[in-house]
Amino acid sequence: MVVEATPSALPSLLLAVVIVAASLSSLCSEAQQVNSAAVFRANTLGILLEIKQSLTQGEGVLLDWSKSNPNFCSWTGVSCALIGTSPSSLPVVVALNLSGTALGGSIPTSVGRLRNLIHLDLSSNSLTGPIPPNLSNLTSLESLLLYSNQLSGPIPPELGSLWSLHVLRIGDNDLTGLIPPSLGGLGRIVTIALASCRLSGPVPAELGRLSQLQNLILQYNQLSGPLPPELGNCSSLKMFTAANNSLNGTIPAELGRLGNLQLLNLANNSLSGPIPGELGGLSVLSYLNLMGNHLQGPIPSSLSRLSNLQNLDLSDNSLSGSIPEELGNLGELVYLVLSENNLSGPIPAKICSNATKLEHLFLSQAQLSGKIPAELRLCSALKQLDLSNNILSGPIPYELYELVDLTDLFLNNNTLVGPIFESIGNLSKLQALALYHNDLAGNLPREIGMLTQLEILYLYENGFTGEIPPEIGKCSNLQLVDLFGNHFSGKIPVTIGNLKQLNFLHLRQNELVGEIPASLGNCHQLTILDLADNGLSGSIPASLGNLQALEQFMLYNNSLVGKLPDALVGLRNLTRVNLSKNKLNGSIAALCSSQSFLSFDVTDNEFDGEIPSHIGNSPALDRLRLGNNRFTGRIPWTLGKIRKLSLLDLSWNSLNGTLPDELSLCKELTHMDLNNNFLSGSIPSWVGSLTQLGELKLSQNRFNGSLPPEIFSCSNLLVLSLDGNMLSGTVPSQVGNLSSLNVLNLNKNQFSGPIPAEIGRLSKLYELQLAENSFTGEFPVELGQLQNLQSILDLGHNNLTGQIPPSIASLSKLEALDLSYNQLSGEIPAQMADMSSLGKLDLSYNNLQGELGKGFSRWPAKAFQGNQQLCGGPLADHCNSPDSHKQHPGGLSESSVAIISAACTLAAILLLAVGVALFLKHRHSLASRSSSKETGKFTYSTSSSQAQRRWLLQHGKTCQDFKLEDIMEATKNLSDEYVIGSGGSGKVYRVDLPTRQTVAVKSVASEKSDVYSMGIVLMELVSGKMPTDAAFGVEMDMVRWVETCMEGASSGSGGASGSAREELIDPMLRPLLASEEAAAFQVLDVALECTKTSPQERPSSRQACDRLFHVFNNRTAIRHDKAKH
């Protein structure tokens, strides 16, 4: 139905239409707002879920971040705020805090789409990768915390557009590159923390524009270049630390304008120049650390104006001058560290004038001198005092003992004198006392026992005397005790066993005596025990086997005796052992249970038996020293398992057999010393594979065969000693490859052929010994190239011929030269007289000729004897004497010739008889070993061989040692009145020992005693006198008489040319030619060598025979030569 409207109803109708339209419009707007909010929520939800998806999470992390829980404002780490004030205001994410939630992966770029974000904290996670540059879209961001992750790459310059940013903490990452200068645009920034990254380059000057900056933290980077002076414009700065970088240049004086600065740390850089005095204007500064730079000049006295300063560290610089006494006015100072500088002068007496709060005073290694001021007692709060490593003198002030709060007192490495006072007991809180390396003396006071908190006691290298006080056992917290290098005497206190915390005990190099206390076995924490270099005696206590933590066991150079206790098998953690230079015996097996040895040394003892094979179970063993003991058997093959072995010393034992091939596996060997054993076989070729070898010593063994050529591949070899073996063949020319060689000793072998000229290439050679071989050919002129040859050149006792080359005179450093007993001929080069360093020269017994210049007179005549055609210089024959060049008119009677010839022939016969006697003696001794069962037999030999070097009493089946002094005293030096029998090999004496035992002693004639007898016979033949001749008087025997006359004859004195010469030679042999008289003197020289007091100094039978035949042959050759003329 249509209703017609009247004019009066029209306005009402229009109003209704308007109302309906407005209502419809409102409904549409509300619908649009609802739709927009839903889209916004969905977008935010999607961004957050995308962030979660990009990150890796640990178990149980971000579980509530899920579509099933669309209320993201309730999610972990998400904070929201409403935009606007209407009821329909939308919640937006304003903070994302996921710190320490074990997140991984990289920071998703989605974070940059949270446009309303004010706080972003992803710190302390494991995030990697770069910082997204689009974080610059977060224009509302006030704090960005990404520190303590593993982020890498550069700092995005775009972060400089975050104009609302207050806090930027992105340190402790792996960030690299430069600090972006754009950070200078962060006008509201308060904190910039970029520490502990790998940032490089300079500190940007643009940072000086940050007027609101309070904290600038740049430490532990790789920043370089100078500090920009513009930093002085950061007027709000409270904390500035750029420590541990590579900054250089000077400290800008402009930093003195930072009136709000409380902390300045520029430690451990390369800053140089002076400390700016302007820093004294930083009135609120409480912490100043400039240590570890290259700062120079004096310490500014202006620093004394820093009234709030609590910590001042200027150590490890090059500061000079004296310590300003005004520093004592710093009443708030707690730490004062000036160590490691080039300061001078004394410690200021006023340094403690107002420093009542000072707890830590470190002035070590600052070149301070003078006495320690007693005024230090005014620093009543001191806990740590370190004045070590200076030049301080005088006594330790009594007043120091008033600092009752001291926990650490370091006065070591000075020149302090005097005692430690008893009042040290006042320092009851003391934990560390270091007074080592001074000149302190006196007794260690008993009051030391009152320091019950003491953990460290270092008194080594002083002059303390007296006993170690037993009260030390009351210091129950002691962990480290070092009394090394004093004069402590008496016994080691038993009370040390009470120190259950003791970890380190070092009593080496004192004068301690007595036994090692068994109570030490109670110190179960002990890792290092060093009692070496004392006078300790007795045996090693079995209780030490309880020290299962022990790593270093040092007892060397004492007088310890007995066997090692079996309990030591419990020491399985040992790394270093040194028991050398004692009198320990028995087996070392109990000591070898550790598999962690680094060094093992038991040299100079009396250990015997075989070397335990399980010592090879320590693969890291570096040094093994078993020398000078009584080990027998073979070298264990298990040593080849020690692949780290660098030093092997088995010398002076009785080891036999061949070298085990397994030693070839020890590729790091640098020193191998097997001298003086009974090792045999050939030198194995694998020695050449030990390329690190620096010393090879195989002397005095029974090696035979030729030298393996492989040995000359050891290019690092410094010492090669093979003397005293039975090696033969020629020396290969490859010896010249040993370019590093310092010592070459091939003495006393059977080498033949020429001396290789290639030895002349060994330019570093210091010692060359090739004596007592059978080398032939001429003296190599190339030896004159050995310009570093110094100790000795010994080619004696060979068959070298030809002339001495003049080039030998170029050996300007040579101290000893021995070419004796060869067949060298010609004249001695005159240049040799100018060899100023040559102290010992022996050219005797060759065929040299000519006149010796005056320069040769500085050597004795015996250096030239045995060369019949030499004259002049120190020799008795003068070159203008008729006897020097022609036959004596009287000639030599046939009877004289016969007598001299007979003497030499008889000598040879005697030597042959010696050999036969030795053989019979050896056979007799073997046969007699089983015959002495009831009667004790005591044998002694004058031979120096190892097999007969000990006195031995065999009584039944028991072997005991007796002192030679007791035997000689009981027999009145082997007087004939005690002889009870004699035979071809010696005499048997009755001996009543002090022990009331009666034994039979057999004096066995050895090779060296037969050589002595032969020397006496030679003297009788030449002189015509008997050993009991009245001419010798009461206080002189034949040997001494001949020796005295020979000294006169050699010196050419009047006595020599007169009565001494007349008396030395039997009148029945005269008249003699000069050359024949010289031959008689040479026979007497051999006789004197044969009658040396020490058997070791006498020649062997073979050597004596060679010398006599040399005299005989030379005399015959000269006589024949003269007969031609």
Taking the chain (1125 residues) in runs of 10, the rounded mean pLDDT of each run is 45 55 49 60 90 88 90 93 71 95 95 95 97 96 98 98 97 98 97 98 98 98 98 98 98 98 99 98 98 98 97 98 96 98 97 95 98 97 98 97 98 98 97 98 98 98 98 98 98 98 98 98 98 98 97 98 96 97 97 95 98 95 98 97 97 98 96 98 96 97 96 95 98 95 98 97 97 97 95 97 95 96 96 94 96 92 94 78 43 42 47 42 38 36 34 38 64 66 56 64 59 79 76 73 71 47 72 70 84 76 71 53 44
Rounded to whole angstroms, how far apart are CA atoms 483 and 466? 12
pLDDT at 409: 98
Rounded to whole angstroms, how far apart are CA atoms 307 and 706? 85
Helix or strand holding residue 145 (H, E): strand 143-145
Domains in the chain, ordered, with CATH?
A: 42-197 (3.80.10.10), 248-418 (3.80.10.10), 897-1024+1066-1125 (no CATH)
* Strand 647-649 with 104-106, pairing: unpaired
Non-local (6+) Cβ contacts of 1113 within 8 A are none
pLDDT at 299: 98
Residue whose C-alpha is closest to residue 760's, from 800, 709, 814, 808: 808
Structure tokens at 359: 């707890």
pLDDT at 880: 62
How many alpha carbons fall within 13 Å on the CB side of residue 932? Answer: 22
Query: 842: helix, coil or strand?
Result: strand
Which amino acid is present at 314?
Answer: L
Kindly tell me the number of DSSP H helices and DSSP E strands found in the chain.
Answer: 9, 71
CA distance between the termini of the chain: 184
pLDDT at 1062: 65
Q: Are 335 and 359 in contact (CB under 8 A)?
A: yes
Signed CA dihedral, 209, 210, 215, 221: sign only: negative
Beta-strand ranges (E) seen in 384-521 are 384-386, 391-395, 408-410, 415-418, 432-434, 439-443, 456-458, 463-467, 480-482, 487-490, 504-506, 511-514
Rounded to whole angstroms, how far apart are CA atoms 1033 and 1036? 6
Non-local (6+) Cβ contacts of 374 within 8 A are 397, 398, 399
Rounded to whole angstroms, how far apart are CA atoms 250 and 254? 11
Rounded to whole angstroms, how far apart are CA atoms 725 and 709? 18
Non-local (6+) Cβ contacts of 20 within 8 A are none
pLDDT at 1099: 82
Backbone torsion region of residue 60, taken as left when φ is above 0, otherwise alpha when ψ lies between -120 and 50, otherwise beta: left
pTM of the predicted model over 0.85: no
pLDDT at 884: 46
Which amino acid is present at 436?
Answer: Y
* DSSP 8-state secondary structure symbol assigned to residue 772: S
Q: Are 521 and 566 in contact (CB under 8 A)?
A: no
pLDDT at 873: 86
Q: How far is CA 239 from each of CA 137, 218, 289, rounded to the nearest angstrom?
A: 29, 11, 12
Helix or strand holding residue 1122 (H, E): helix 1101-1124
Query: Would the annotation count 474 as a binding residue?
Result: no
If you write DSSP's letter for every residue of 568-580 in order, what string do you get?
A: GGG-TT--EEE--
Query: 945: helix, coil or strand?
Result: coil
Q: Are 497 and 474 in contact (CB under 8 A)?
A: no
Beta-strand ranges (E) seen in 804-931 are 816-818, 825-827, 840-842, 847-852, 869-872
Rounded to whole angstroms, how far apart are CA atoms 107 and 63? 19
Q: How far is CA 67 from each of CA 44, 50, 52, 117, 640, rounded to the nearest angstrom?
A: 12, 11, 12, 21, 70
Residue whose C-alpha is closest to residue 1015's, from 1067, 1083, 1069: 1083
Buried (b) or exposed (e) across 784-822, using 16+ Cβ within 10 A? bbbeebbbbbbbbbbebeeebbebbbebeebbbbbbbbb
pLDDT at 989: 65
Rounded to whole angstroms, how far apart are CA atoms 1062 and 193? 105
Structure tokens at 261: 């600065």
Rounded to whole angstroms, how far apart are CA atoms 649 and 887? 60
pLDDT at 749: 98
Helix, strand, coil content of the chain in percent (nearest 5): 30, 25, 45
